[in-house]
Amino acid sequence: MSKFTFDLDLADRITAGAIGQPGQRVFYMQAHRGTQLVTMLAEKEQIASLATELMRLLDDLAERDPRLASSDDPVIMNMELEEPLEPVFRIAQMGLGYDEQRDIVVLLIQGASEEEESEAEPMTTRISGSRLQMRALSNHSLNVVAAGRPICGNCGRPIDAGGHFCPQRNGHGPISNP
């Protein structure tokens, strides 16, 4: 894969978000550079995993070199999704890297192939940004994921507004929404 479909080197904005009611939300990843806006469909688990791995990468960088530690001051960035929400592809996989020379974090995203037997290369996006931007993305993404349905402490499944039948309770009644 030599060329990216979308290359947002040093993006102005990088964010993730969800639209809809808990339990029926659609998740998006979005980056903006200059006049170029790239929106991609994502799964909740992908956004959660990205947030966790970004945090781990940034913490590792700070541990290896304390000069790379981010300040503890919260950064105020506009993390809202931009309209129009027209995704260019559904995310299949993501990878993270760090460009030490430029002191930037690089996010590589590959889209899912439209057809299993398609000869065409899947769409790809490269997004790079500062450690500060990526820390803000990580924190915001964790908040987006947490804003969904509460999780059952017994089985780990989401609890709907009308309650939840928990298999761990062995048929001893539903767990109602807290």
pLDDT of 121-135, one tens digit each?
899 999 999 999 999
So what's the pLDDT on residue 1? 42
Question: Which of these, 54, 79, 60, 25, lies nearest to 130 by C-alpha position?
Answer: 54
The whole-number average pLDDT for the span 22-27 is 91
Is the model more confident about 68 or about 40? 40
Joined together, the tokens standing for residue 12 give: 């102005």
Residue 113: per-residue pLDDT: 76
Domains of the chain listed by start with CATH number:
6-147 (3.30.2450), 153-178 (no CATH)
Residue 94: how many other CB atoms lie within 10 Å: 19
* Average pLDDT of the segment spanning 41-51: 96
Specify the pTM: 0.81
What is the arithmetic mean of pLDDT over 8-16?
A: 96
